[in-house]
Amino acid sequence: MTDSNDCDLFVIGGGSAGVRAARMSAQRGARVVLAEAAALGGTCVNVGCIPKKLYSYAAHFADDFRDAAGYGWTVGEPTFDWATLKKNRAAEIARLNGVYANLLAGAGVRTITGWASLADAHTVMVRTASGEETVRAKHILVVTGGRPTVPDFPGCEHVITSDGLFDAEPFPKRLLVVGGGYIACEFASIFNGLGAKVTQLYRGEQVLRGFDDDIRAHVAREMTKHGVDLRTRADVRSIEKRGDGSLAATLADGTVLEADKVLYATGRVPNIAGLGLEALGVKQGRDGAIVVDEAYRTSVPSILAAGDVTARIQLTPVALGEAMVIADHLFGAGKKAMGYDYIPTAVFTHPNIGTVGYSEAQAREKFGAVTIFRSEFKALKHTLSGSTERTLMKLVVDTASDRVVGLHMVGADAGEIVQGFAVAMKAGATKAVFDSTIGIHPTAAEEFVTMREPVA
C-alpha cells in the first residue's frame, strides 16, 4: 500500500478500545479515521460499567440510611426518585460522550458517525445519514464490542436486557432477573437496594460460575440476606404479558412468578453483524468471535481486532491494554506487551466482590499442592450499625514457591482493596512478603497481611 490510502488506520467502533487505539495512534503521527454509529464510549460508558456503578452507589444509600441509626443519626423516612437518578445519570454520560469526542478531535482523529462494513482488506464503507462514504486504509481495526443475547422461548419478546434497564419506565417494583453471571447478580443487588422486590433465577447450582467457590457461596448468602430472592436450579419456560402490562413467567417446574419487568442477563456475544467478515475470510470462533494472533491480527493481515469482539477476557481495562499494544506495534516502538495473568476484577454486588488470580480449584489443578488462608468476620462498621453483613477474605498460596496465586474478597470496597494487592501479585509476592507487611489498622484490608493459620 502507498500514500494513496485515505488513512493509516481505520477504527470500526468508538468504545474504550477504539477511542484509545485511535487516539494513541494519531498521537504517534498516524492518519486515523474512526467510525461509530452510536454514542462514543461504547458499552462501558453508555450502558455498562459507568452507569452501573452510579446506580450501585445509589442503591447503597438505602443501607447507609439504615446503618446511620446505630451511630446516633436520625435520618427520617428516606424516599427515592427514579426519574432524578435517570436524569442525572444521563447528564453525566452525555458529558463523558463529549469528553471522548474532544479527545479524538484533539489528537487529530477524524470521526464519522455511521455504520461501517468491510468492502475488502483495505476498504471500509460507512453508511451515514447523508449517504455512503468509502475510505481506504493501510490497517483496519475492528473493536465493535459485544451485545446482550436472549434465548428463544415463548414470550422472549417481552424481556429486556441490561441495555434497556437503565431507563426502564416506570420503575420496576417487581423485577425478575434471569441469569447467574456478574451482570445478573449486580443488577439484582442494585434494584433490590433501590427498593424493588427482586427475584433472581439461575439454572445452575450456584451463581458466578468461574469464581472461587467460597466467594460464590458467601455472596449468595449475603445477597439473600439483603433481600434478593435467589433461586438456583430454576429456569423460565415461557412469559405472558397480561392486560395491565405486567408479566407472568412460568418456570420449568410450573411455578408462576409475576413481575413488572423481566431482565435477561444470560450472556453476551460479539457484535459482528453486518461487518462483512465472512466474505473476506476473516476467521471466526464461537458466536462469531474474531480469532486473532498474539499481535491481534486476524487471518487477513491488514485487519486487526481487540476487546470484547474477540470474546477472550471481556473487561474494559483489558480492551484498553490491547489497544495500547496495537498502537505501539503499528506506529510505535513495538515493545509493549499485554499480560493476561493476574488480572484483577470486581463485581458490584451488595456487598462487592474483588478478586485477582486463581480460584482454589484452578490453583489445585495448575500447581498441585496449595495452602489456603481464609477469614470471615463482621466489619468494624457493622459492630454499631446493626447490620449482619459479613466480610470474607481468602488467599490461595502455591505451597512449593510460597507465591500468593489467588486473592479474593467479598465486602465493602472490595474492588478498591484488591487493586493494590494485584500489583504485589503481578510482581510475584510470596506469603512471606505478605506476612512481613505491616497492615493499616483498623481496616478490613489489613486482614490480608495478618492471616497466619492455614485452613487447608
Q: Which residues are catalytic?
A: 441
- The whole-angstrom separation of Cα 412 and Cα 444 is 9
Written as nine digits, the cell of 171 is: 420503575
β pairing state of 391-398 and 197-202:
unpaired
- The whole-angstrom separation of Cα 297 and Cα 293 is 6
Written as nine digits, the cell of 334 is: 513495538
What are the DSSP calls for 221-276, one per residue? Answer: HHHHHHT-EEEES--EEEEEE-TTS-EEEEETTS-EEEESEEEE-S-EEE--TTS-
Which residues are within 8 A (CB) of 242 and not within 5 positions of it... i.e. 6 or more apart?
248
Q: How many CA atoms lie less than 13 Å away from 239 in the CB half-sphere? A: 25
What are the DSSP calls for 265-317, one per residue? Answer: -S-EEE--TTS-HHHHT--B-GGGPBP--TTSB-SSTTEEE-GGGG-SS--HH
Helix %, strand %, coil % for the chain, to 5? 35, 25, 40
